[in-house]
């Protein structure tokens, strides 16, 4: 007989159900907007955030010295949106600073009135008087929102610190030299890009002195054109901004990485791959010999070359002696012009390789591999080796030495697949 839930258990299951609507699983859904596709992936956005964190400490120290008080700076969000959406969300008037020199594009640093008014008051000898709530600002005192030419000059040093620290970090990933500053009091006066172009916006909260909380916190919005962040820039951001030490990682992340170290990966000992056309591949028969223009071996983890090595065939099992880390994929990259589709399908070229042996190792064992390490394969020395086309076994054969210089394979068995 099935168990019957008590009223308390039913209430516990439905505690989030507050109305008469049909019960549903909470899930964030949105219609994909083809006019505004996401130009930057989520992991790239996170890397942009991590890169920006690198300049916050210096920014806080320099702003604290300028304002002669403790300044707290923090990123509240990073948004991917259209330029039109960014502009419409800004207060008007505001401090809208435009610069040339972010690669070949322009970049915007926007400072809200709730930030620049206390800063100007502090720099002119005041205590950093906060801006009153907007509900208390009427036509007769709305002038306090606008910046005069003198106000802009006073704010220059504050703006210079922000742009300088930003440039110090971003110069590692993109050609940046911010010049030709223009400061406007309205974001609608000057359009630096089409309304539908995608931008990345850092929203940074700045608090100082005794001014904290929603009414006193000012914001800086740093907006970059997404199309300036090409794949090369994104990769640089990822490698510079995304490198964390364990000390900065949450405990559950460390635990997960410890678990993944026990995951096993297939290791393959192969000669560097060479291209072969499908036409040549389809005519392979027993007795054929293929010569590979190399005497070096590579150790692959799944399909990725990780070490160059030497093969020891003197023992009963094939052994790989690690020589050095393999840092480039160019030698086995099949995507050259001559290998592209040029007409007949039979002329398409795919990678061909001789696989001498295979072993399965845990990730923690692979991490420990260094120069001089000996890795024993599962295969016997006198066993036939595999001829691999793409990722498919097509034949077995015996290793040959061609012209006393290069390795090759004599086909002993052609593998047929259903």
For 194-335, list the strands marked E by DSSP. Answer: 198-208, 218-225, 264-270, 274-277, 289-292, 297-301, 304-312, 317-325
**Do 306 and 409 share a domain, yes or no?**
yes
One domain for residues 195 and 304: no
- What's the whole-model pTM score? 0.52
Q: Is residue 317 part of a domain?
A: yes
Residues 234 and 199 in one domain: yes
- Residue 81 domain flag: yes
Q: Are residues 96 and 51 in the same domain?
A: yes
Q: Are residues 226 and 282 located together in one domain of the fold?
A: no
Distances (CA, A) of 295 to 61, 329, 353, 398: 57, 17, 13, 16
* 192 assigned to some structural domain: yes
| 194 shares a domain with 124 | yes
Residue 219 and residue 313 share a domain: no
Phi and psi, residue 67, nearest 5°:
-90, -5
Q: Please tell me whether residues 199 and 275 are part of one structural domain.
A: no
- Residues facing residue 109 across a β-bridge: 97, 222
Residue 35 within a domain? no
- Tens place of pLDDT for every residue, the chain, 418 residues? 445 655 555 555 554 444 444 444 454 444 444 455 566 777 778 888 888 888 888 899 999 999 988 888 999 988 888 899 999 988 888 999 999 999 888 999 999 988 898 899 899 988 877 776 766 666 666 677 888 889 999 999 999 999 999 999 898 888 899 988 899 888 887 888 888 888 999 999 998 865 544 455 789 999 999 888 877 787 777 776 544 333 344 444 444 444 555 667 778 888 777 788 777 878 888 888 777 766 678 888 766 777 888 776 656 777 888 877 765 434 434 444 444 434 445 566 677 888 888 888 887 788 788 887 888 888 887 788 888 887 788 888 888 777 666 677 888 888 876 5
Q: Among residues 209, 242, 275, which one ends one of the domains?
A: 242
Torsion of CA 394, 400, 402, 405, to 10 degrees: 120
Task: Determine how β-strand 289-292 pairs with β-strand 274-277.
Answer: unpaired
DSSP code, position 336: S
Residue 37 lies in a domain: no
Please say whether the beta carbons of 200 and 48 come within 8 A. yes
Partners of 275 in the β-ladder = 351
Q: What is the C-alpha to C-alpha distance for residues 308 and 396, in angstroms, rounded to an integer?
A: 23
Q: Do 393 and 347 fall within a single domain?
A: yes
Domain co-membership, 222 together with 299 = no
| pLDDT the model gives residue 212 | 47
Give the residue numbers spanning the domain of 335: 264-414
In terms of domains, do 238 and 271 share one? Answer: no
Q: What is the rounded distance in angstroms from the CA atom of residue 409 to the CA atom of residue 401? A: 8
Whole-angstrom CA distances from 249 to 43, 53, 257 are 16, 14, 10
Residues 156 and 209 occupy one common structural domain: yes
3-class SS of residue 57: helix
Cα separation, 299 vs 301, in Å, equals 7
Domain count, the chain: 2
Mapped to the 3 state alphabet, what secondary structure does 102-167 carry?
ECCEEEEEEECHHHHHHHHHHHCCCCCCCCCCHHHCCHHHHHHHCCCHHHHHHHHHHHHHHHHHHH
pLDDT of residue 284: 83
pLDDT for the residue numbered 18 = 46
Can you say how many angstroms the Cα of residue 156 is from the centroid of all Cα atoms in its chain? 33
- What confidence score (pLDDT) does residue 53 get? 86
Is the distance from CB of 144 to CB of 131 less than 8 angstroms? yes
What is the bridge-based pairing of β-strands 289-292 and 406-414? Answer: antiparallel
Q: Are 385 and 399 in contact (CB under 8 A)?
A: yes
Domain stops at, among 207, 242, 277: 242
Go through 362-393 and write b for each residue having 16 or more CB atoms within 10 A of its CB, e for each that does not.
Answer: eeebbeebeeeeebebebebeebbbbbbeeee
- The reported pLDDT for the residue numbered 13 is 54
Q: Which contacts qualify for 412-415: CB closer than 8 Å, 24 or more apart?
A: 412/286, 412/384, 413/286, 413/384, 414/284, 414/285, 414/286
The CATH number assigned to the domain holding 79 equals 3.40.1550.10
């Amino acid at each position: 007989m099935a168990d019957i839930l008590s009223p308390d258990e039913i209430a516990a299951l439905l505690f989030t159900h507050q109305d008469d609507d049909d019960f549903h699983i909470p899930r964030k859904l949105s219609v994909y907007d083809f006019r505004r596709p996401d130009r930057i992936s989520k992991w790239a956005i996170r890397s942009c955030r991590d890169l920006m964190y690198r300049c916050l400490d210096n920014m806080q120290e320099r702003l604290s010295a300028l304002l002669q008080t403790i300044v707290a700076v923090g990123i509240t969000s990073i948004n991917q949106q259209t330029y039109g959406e960014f502009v419409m969300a800004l207060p008007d008037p505001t401090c809208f600073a435009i610069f040339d020199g972010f690669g070949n594009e322009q970049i915007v640093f926007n400072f809200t009135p709730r930030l620049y008014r206390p800063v100007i008051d502090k720099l002119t000898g005041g205590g950093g008087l906060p801006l009153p709530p907007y509900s208390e600002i009427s036509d007769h005192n709305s002038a306090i929102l606008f910046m005069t030419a003198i106000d802009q000059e006073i704010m220059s040093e504050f703006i210079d610190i922000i742009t300088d620290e930003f440039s110090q970090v971003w110069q590692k990933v993109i050609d940046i030299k911010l010049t030709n500053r223009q400061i406007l009091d309205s974001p609608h006066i000057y359009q630096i890009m089409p309304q539908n172009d995608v931008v990345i916006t850092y929203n940074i909260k700045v608090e100082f002195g005794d001014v904290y909380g929603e009414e006193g916190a000012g914001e800086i919005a740093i907006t970059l054109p997404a199309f300036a962040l090409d794949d090369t820039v994104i990769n640089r951001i990822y490698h510079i901004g995304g490198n964390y030490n364990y000390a900065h990682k949450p405990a559950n992340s460390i635990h997960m990485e410890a678990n993944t170290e026990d995951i096993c990966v297939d290791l393959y000992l192969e000669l560097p791959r060479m291209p072969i056309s499908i036409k040549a591949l389809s005519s392979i028969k027993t007795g054929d010999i293929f010569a590979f223009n190399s005497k070096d071996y590579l150790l692959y983890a799944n399909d990725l070359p990780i070490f160059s090595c030497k093969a020891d065939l003197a023992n009963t099992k094939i052994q790989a002696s690690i020589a050095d880390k393999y840092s480039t994929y160019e030698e086995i990259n099949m995507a050259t012009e001559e290998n592209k589709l040029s007409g007949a399908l039979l002329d398409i070229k795919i990678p061909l390789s001789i696989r001498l042996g295979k072993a399965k190792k845990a990730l923690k064992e692979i991490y420990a591999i260094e120069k001089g390490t000996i890795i024993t394969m599962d295969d016997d020395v006198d066993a036939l080796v595999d001829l691999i086309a793409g990722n498919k076994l097509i034949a077995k054969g015996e290793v040959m030495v061609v012209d006393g210089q290069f390795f090759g394979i004599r086909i002993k068995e052609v593998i047929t697949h259903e």
